[in-house]
Amino acid sequence: MGRFYVTTPIYYVNDVPHLGTAYTTIIADALRRFHLLIGDETFMLTGTDEHGQKIERVAKEEGLDPKTFCDRISQRFREAWPKLEVGYDRFIRTTDDDHEAFVKDLWKKIEERGDLYEADYEDWYCVGCESYKTEKELEQPGNICPLHKKPVARVKESTYFFRLSKWEKPLLDFYERHPEFIQPETRRNEVLSFVRGGLRDLSCSRTSFSWGIPVPGNPKHVMYVWFDALTNYRSALGHSDLTRFWPPNAHVVHLVGKDILRFHAVYWPAFLLSAGYKEEELPNVVYAHGFLTIDGQKMSKALRNAVDPLKIAETLGADVLRYTLARSVAFGQDGDFDHAAMLERYNADLGKNLGNLLSRVLGLCTKMTDSKHPDDDPSTDGPVEKELADAYTTCVTAARKAWLDLAPHVALEQTFKLASAANAYVDRAAPWTEAKNGNTARIAKILSRLLRVLEALSVMISPVMPRKSDEMRAQLGLQPTVLGIGNDIWPLEMPSIRAGLTLAPSGPLFPTFDDKARDAILAKLVPAKEAPVTPAAATPPAPLAAGTIAYDDFAKVDLRVGSVKSCERVPKKDKLLRLTVDVGESEPRTIVAGLALSFTPEQLVGRKVIVVANLAPREFGKGLVSHGMLLASGPSEQLVLATVDGDAAPGARLK
């Protein structure tokens, strides 16, 4: 392969790192580390996506100018990744000067080739996705974004269009000639049918806000945030590396979540082709992975179910988290994350399989070989050695192939299959029986063979568990793996005999947790669940008195504390106010309320209110949709607002 360039998406700074974003970043780093093992030169890119309406809005809500806000959150990402053993080569910010200069340059190239033109534009836009939507893509009624569960906005402004339609045929030809470009296969088919369905020109600039890169020659416009963001993969390479880590001189893999595949697989190559890149200068692979879910729901800030990866890393070590994520989720598919399952897997794979193998072999060596690597004569191998050798070849070959095929879960499965084969070999070869018979040559063979397999395993786990790899090697009397460009150290052959080398056992590599220890860890890691809304019914419910409702009926109403962020009158509607209310979701909701005869907008901003959060959206005409209702009491001219006492956070449930 030679040079390997792997990227993560750049993360929006409206959120801090969570397990979902850590997932992609960890897998990218594991791939980087695997490629270092096989002697490739590598470059890993990650960073933050800082422009656009969404970020401008969140910054405003925090009372900060956008750049100060971005500095603050971007730093959280920059600092988080090394704590998860992620070694990126560049952390890019879309507010970096060199990035902005590069984006402007790309824009000019595309403009010079006639692929940008100015025209009026009107469409639906989801600020959460930072993406235009057709009505077909939205849930009705109310034009709701299916991902963010919020109504989208109607955008009408002058824009620069990118002539995406012109690239429909060249893109289809490119996909045809490079079936590996979009992976996995199912996702490829989705993109193919989207493009075959016809591409519309893409609105690529906005005039209704200013937090973005100004369009060269027309600074009233800022660039569409995705035009800016996608370009990071090129701008990050800087001028010296610009061709070095780019095709055809390097193999480029973009890892993305399935929700942002279209931007990467359609818009990005179209921008590049339009700017004059040739087909062989396009990225090699866009791989769309699935979502990490909690109880089947996507983990996200909006759903308030995000897990903090740093807390897990502090408690169990980053390596354990990395292993869990890479092994438990089939890359490409959604995977449910569960703390208890993580600990079970820890005990089974790490503690009882690999950890136990190491302890067993080192323990036997302490007793039988004076804590030294013994010597061996391979010409005297018996059938059990042959079996182990076969398992060895199968597993190391399959694991290597899986890494190259972007299937880390398979690579780890094969790695741990080898550990199981080695454990089975200890049982079958039974060195303790040989000891009773005084068969020292056989003991030496068995333990030497096992130490060699352990050395191979220390290399094979290193892409996901770099620290544990070093610790394991130290116990085996070995230095950390030595990497070098052109030096492929993937152990296709069993490592050589190291007769005489002193071992350094130092306790279990992965001490297993008993039930008590497991419960203590879970108590620390798992946030306390909200008390069940419905009390467990031990006795059948009593018949309802007339005019009453059952508790279950009441519990259907989702009442939440809201904080009013902004408020304005609705033109031509005397009674109505349009409010944006923070109910603890990623973005405030729009709520239309008949409060205008009792309150001025200024009187409401900053107030804590009670929101009926699960009321079906209600249309007030002209695209104005209310997403919830406020509770108030009194006649229209003398309303009092229902509010909460004390310090309840937005989104807190009333029950």
Provide the binding-site residues for ligand MSP, judged by CB under 6 A.
Answer: 9-12, 20-21, 23-24, 49, 229-230, 232, 256-257, 259-260, 291-292, 298-300
Q: Give strand ranges (E) for 543-652.
A: 559-570, 573-582, 589-593, 608-612, 618-619, 625-626, 629-630, 632-633, 640-641
Query: Quick one: 15 or 455, whose CB is closer to ligand MSP?
Result: 15
Query: Quick one: 123 or 259, whose CB is closer to ligand MSP?
Result: 259
> Which residue from 426, 652, 638 is spatially nearest to 530, judged by alpha carbons?
652
Query: Quick one: 12 or 277, whose CB is closer to ligand MSP?
Result: 12
Contacts of residue 39, defined as CB under 8 A and 6 or more positions apart, other chains included, come to 483, 484, 485, 486, 487, 488, 489
Task: Supply the minimum distance, in Å, between the C-beta of residue 226 and ligand MSP.
Answer: 7
Task: Supply the minimum distance, in Å, between the C-beta of residue 607 and ligand MSP.
Answer: 30
Count of beta carbons in the 10 Å neighbourhood of residue 427:
9
> How many residues would you count in the chain?
655
**Residue the block writes with tokens 């909200």:** 530
CB neighbour burial string for 570-587, b if at least 16 within 10 angstroms, e if fewer: beebeebbbbbbbbbbbb
Query: Quick one: 292 or 592, whose CB is closer to ligand MSP?
Result: 292
Query: Quick one: 26 or 509, whose CB is closer to ligand MSP?
Result: 26
Residue 28 half-sphere exposure toward CB, CA atoms < 13 A:
34
Query: What's the CA gap between 581 and 595, in Å, rounded?
Result: 14
286 φ, ψ (degrees, to nearest 5): -115, 115
Task: Supply the minimum distance, in Å, between the C-beta of residue 414 and ligand MSP.
Answer: 24
Task: Supply the minimum distance, in Å, between the C-beta of residue 21 and ligand MSP.
Answer: 5
Task: Supply the minimum distance, in Å, between the C-beta of residue 13 and ligand MSP.
Answer: 8
Query: What's the CA gap between 130 and 224, in Å, rounded?
Result: 9
Task: Supply the minimum distance, in Å, between the C-beta of residue 335 and ligand MSP.
Answer: 9
Task: Supply the minimum distance, in Å, between the C-beta of residue 591 and ligand MSP.
Answer: 25
Q: Give strand ranges (E) for 163-276.
A: 182-183, 202-203, 205-206, 214-215, 218-223, 251-257
Query: Quick one: 187 or 608, whose CB is closer to ligand MSP?
Result: 187
Task: Supply the minimum distance, in Å, between the C-beta of residue 257 and ligand MSP.
Answer: 2
Query: What's the CA gap between 233 and 260, in Å, rounded?
Result: 15
Task: Supply the minimum distance, in Å, between the C-beta of residue 6 and ligand MSP.
Answer: 14
Query: Quick one: 303 or 494, whose CB is closer to ligand MSP?
Result: 303
Query: Quick one: 257 or 463, whose CB is closer to ligand MSP?
Result: 257
Provide the pairing of β-strand 3-7 with 251-257. Answer: parallel
Count of beta carbons in the 10 Å neighbourhood of residue 32:
22
Query: What's the CA gap between 368 and 271, in Å, rounded?
Result: 66
**Residue the block writes with tokens 């009705």:** 140
Task: Supply the minimum distance, in Å, between the C-beta of residue 402 and ligand MSP.
Answer: 20
Sign of CA dihedral 229, 230, 234, 236: positive
Residue 484 carries which DSSP code?
B
Query: Quick one: 282 or 459, whose CB is closer to ligand MSP?
Result: 282
Closest residue to ligand MSP: CB criterion: 257
Contacts of residue 330, defined as CB under 8 A and 6 or more positions apart, other chains included, come to 409
> Which residue from 463, 406, 464 is spatially nearest to 285, judged by alpha carbons?
406
Query: Quick one: 259 or 381, whose CB is closer to ligand MSP?
Result: 259
Task: Supply the minimum distance, in Å, between the C-beta of residue 530 and ligand MSP.
Answer: 20
Query: Quick one: 27 or 368, whose CB is closer to ligand MSP?
Result: 27
Task: Supply the minimum distance, in Å, between the C-beta of residue 337 and ligand MSP.
Answer: 9
Calculate ∠ Cα 319-30-17, nearest 5°: 70
Contacts of residue 125, defined as CB under 8 A and 6 or more positions apart, other chains included, come to 131, 132, 133, 152, 153, 154, 155
Query: Quick one: 267 or 425, whose CB is closer to ligand MSP?
Result: 267
Query: What's the CA gap between 78 and 48, in Å, rounded?
Result: 9
Task: Supply the minimum distance, in Å, between the C-beta of residue 355 and ligand MSP.
Answer: 29
149 φ, ψ (degrees, to nearest 5): 55, 35
Query: Quick one: 164 or 611, whose CB is closer to ligand MSP?
Result: 164
